[in-house]
């Protein structure tokens, strides 16, 4: 069974750093892209970036480039999203999601999702 | 960046009725790269439709997707109580993914 299990909720102060995780299981972690999606309170979904754990090739949304860092450790089947200096506006739910892939290619849809990590930034 | 605009913002319908949700793109989108998701309160999104018209694994056949170019539609043929949720379209193009702002389907 494919699963993406994310790390638990975090409460941080502005200016602090943070790294949240997403552990994949039940499939070949190095063969599928993992994306990160932000959902601010009461709002819609925003694509942040995506990484291919096989070679750590990473793409960022222009809106999030330079604001966050996406990485992966394929030895433990885990992807990460990190901030060096949090702001109150980073308060949101963050989801990781696997991009689909078939023998014939990918439809660039996210077929499996983690349960989400709630990040609260408040002084 | 391709912008997806969903309409209506809210759809108020009764169980058993047909729901038609629209997703319009600011420029042409490959049909292969248009997906729809359902999100219920407190849950992660769930993939419903990929490639504009293919149902994901386990998705009931009352959900169907159609469209091409800049206009795409998600249709729920007969609403079940569990279908009341928020629906998002999503596209991929030029190494970038974007989501629409969502349509809420609520009980009338």
Q: Name the nearest CA neighbour of A19 among A113, A88, A90.
A: A90
Q: Chain-centre distance of CA B7, in angstroms? A: 10
User: Is the separation of the CB atoms in A24 and A34 below 8 Å?
Assistant: yes
Closest chain B residue to the Cα of A5, Cα to Cα: B44
Euclidean distance between CA atoms B42 and B28, whole angstroms: 33
**Residue A102's pLDDT is what?**
84
Q: How large is the average pLDDT for residues B48-66?
A: 97
Euclidean distance between CA atoms A41 and B67, whole angstroms: 31
**Residue B94's pLDDT is what?**
85
Provide the 3-class DSSP secondary structure of residue B81.
Answer: helix
User: Is the separation of the CB atoms in B104 and B9 below 8 Å?
Assistant: yes
Q: How large is the average pLDDT for residues A102-109?
A: 88
**Residue B4's pLDDT is what?**
97
Closest chain A residue to the Cα of B44, Cα to Cα: A115
Chain B interface, mutation test: which of A109, A112, A114, A118, most B Cβ atoms within 10 Å? A109
**Residue B104's pLDDT is what?**
98
Provide the 3-class DSSP secondary structure of residue B94.
Answer: coil
Residue the block writes with tokens 């702001």: A87
Contact residues on chain B for A50, CB-CB shorter than 8 A = 97
User: Is the separation of the CB atoms in B88 and B22 below 8 Å?
Assistant: no
Count of alpha carbons within 13 angstroms of residue A99, beta-carbon side: 26
The pLDDT tens digits of the residues spanning B20-52 come to 999 999 999 999 999 999 999 999 999 999 999
């Amino acid at each position: 069974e494919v699963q993406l299990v994310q790390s638990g909720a975090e409460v941080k102060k502005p200016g602090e750093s943070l790294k949240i995780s997403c552990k994949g299981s039940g499939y070949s972690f190095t063969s599928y892209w993992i994306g990160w999606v932000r959902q601010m309170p009461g709002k819609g979904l925003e694509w942040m970036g995506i990484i291919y754990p096989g070679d750590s090739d990473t793409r960022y949304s222009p809106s999030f480039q330079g604001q966050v860092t996406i990485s992966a450790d394929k030895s433990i089947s885990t992807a990460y999203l990190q901030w060096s200096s949090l702001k109150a506006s980073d308060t949101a739910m963050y989801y990781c999601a696997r991009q689909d892939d078939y023998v014939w290619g990918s439809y660039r849809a996210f077929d499996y999702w983690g349960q989400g990590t709630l990040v609260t930034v408040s002084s | 960046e391709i912008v997806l605009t969903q309409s209506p913002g809210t759809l108020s319908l009764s169980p058993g009725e047909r729901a038609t949700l629209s997703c319009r793109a600011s420029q042409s989108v490959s049909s292969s790269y248009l997906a729809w998701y359902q999100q219920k309160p407190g849950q992660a999104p769930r993939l419903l439709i990929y490639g504009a018209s293919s149902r994901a694994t386990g998705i009931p056949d009352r959900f169907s997707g159609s469209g091409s170019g800049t206009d795409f539609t998600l249709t729920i043929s007969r609403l079940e109580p569990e279908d009341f949720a928020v629906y998002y379209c999503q596209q991929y193009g030029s190494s970038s993914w974007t989501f629409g702002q969502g349509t809420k389907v609520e009980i009338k």
